[in-house]
Amino acid sequence: MEKENSKIWVDGRFINWKDANVHILTHAIHYGSSVFEGCRCYKTQKGPAIFRLKSHIDRLYDSAKIYRMEIPYTKKQFCTIIVDTVKINGFKECYIRPVVFRGYGAMGVNPLNNPLVCAIACWEWGAYFGEEATQKGVSVCVSSWRRAAPDTFPSLAKAGGNYLNSQLIKMEALRYGFDEGIALDTQGYVSEASGGNIFIVKSGVIFTPPTSSSILAGITRHTVFILARELGIRIEQHMIPREALYIADEVFFTGTAVEVTPVSSIDNINIKSSIKGSITEKVQAAYLDYVGGNVEDKHNWLTYVE
């Protein structure tokens, strides 16, 4: 279905895509005051299933709490509305974007006098970097832009404003001909990509930066922790110096949109595995098998829509 024909849920009502508009003086437009999620619904043999919906809702409510937004629905209600939004649109497979933002009201930085708006949109969205990248990997650079220091923008909140930094990283990478950029944290350790977490593989062990390296605590990242352990692969959180990227055996990104995407080169230096390393391959296959419902849902991560 064309996304323009779909319905968007806004504060209790399903409305047509083209009617889901806001006033120019909406607080979030001027001051970045929104929190959001990105979830994926996958086609499975038992019908469409949303992957880790509960974890996404938990993080949405955490992000809202950090910014003192009181969402006027219980988490259970919010989950039900998300399922209904996918159902009403008839998607077999889609990306889902719940967003909560400070709406139209008072102008000025203080957000507390502006009404909160909650909305959920969904649309069909294939591989983030394209199908080929899932096999051959992406070419990336280390960005000259750093992630924000922990006492500036809290990275554990998935807030609209944080993505201004992501946009600078992404635009710089594209301008220099790369697919994506990796940001360091303010201490110079590896943090994450503009829209995903990073993992490196060295001598059979997977490493990823800890939450203290200004990362978003990715739900795919957490999923990879569990799947890697089930595959018998050691996985650890460590602060990662920049040069460890260049000498890694394998590097990959994770995220709801990017799923598990191999990295083939960094700053035009080829990663040893060059295309897709064997551990990346195993983790990616385990991830896609799980989200596609091809294996037993032993962690209760799938929410069936029908």
Q: Does 255 bind ligand PMP (CB under 6 A)?
A: yes
- CA 163 – CA 152 distance, rounded (Å): 14
By beta-carbon proximity to ligand PMP, the closer residue of 15 and 211 is: 211
**CA proximity to 138, closest of 127, 126, 125:** 127
166 binds ligand PMP (CB under 6 A): yes
Of the pair 7, 56, the CB lying nearest ligand PMP is at: 56
Write the DSSP string, 206-222: EEE--GGGT----HHHH
Q: At its nearest, how many Å lie between ligand PMP and the CB of residue 303?
A: 16
DSSP, collapsed to helix, strand or coil, labels residue 121 as strand
Side-chain half-sphere exposure of 102, counting CA atoms within 13 A:
25
Shortest distance (Å) from residue 246 CB to ligand PMP: 22
Question: Are the CB atoms for 20 and 109 separated by under 8 Å?
Answer: no
For tokens 């650890």, what's the residue?
A: 236
Q: Is 256 in the site for ligand PMP (CB under 6 A)?
A: yes
Comparison of 6 and 213: residue with beta carbon closer to ligand PMP: 213
Smallest gap from Cβ 21 to ligand PMP, in A, equals: 25
Q: What is the distance between the alpha carbons of residues 24 and 27, in angstroms, rounded to a whole number?
A: 9
Instruction: Kindly indicate which of the ranges 7-15, 249-257, 266-274, 276-284 contains the residues binding ligand PMP, using the contact rule CB under 6 A.
Output: 249-257
Total binding residues toward ligand PMP, as defined by CB under 6 A: 14
48 binds ligand PMP (CB under 6 A): no
Nearer to ligand PMP, 114 or 253 (CB): 253
* Options 26, 197, 208, 265; binder of ligand PMP; rule CB under 6 A: 197
Q: How far is the CB of 24 from ligand PMP (least distance, A)?
A: 26
Distance, in Å, from the CA atom of 142 to the CA atom of 168, rounded to the nearest integer, reads 12
CB-based contact 86:11 (threshold 8 Å): no
Taking alpha carbons only, the member of 81, 77, 85 closest to residue 6 is 85
Closest residue by Cα to residue 89 from 14, 36, 22: 14
158 counts as catalytic: yes
H/E stretch holding 288: helix 278-291
Out of 34, 214, 220, 261, the residue judged to bind ligand PMP by CB under 6 A: 220
185 near ligand PMP (CB under 6 A): no
The residue ranges that bind ligand PMP (CB under 6 A) are 38, 166, 192, 195-197, 216, 218-221, 254-256
Return the active site residues: 158
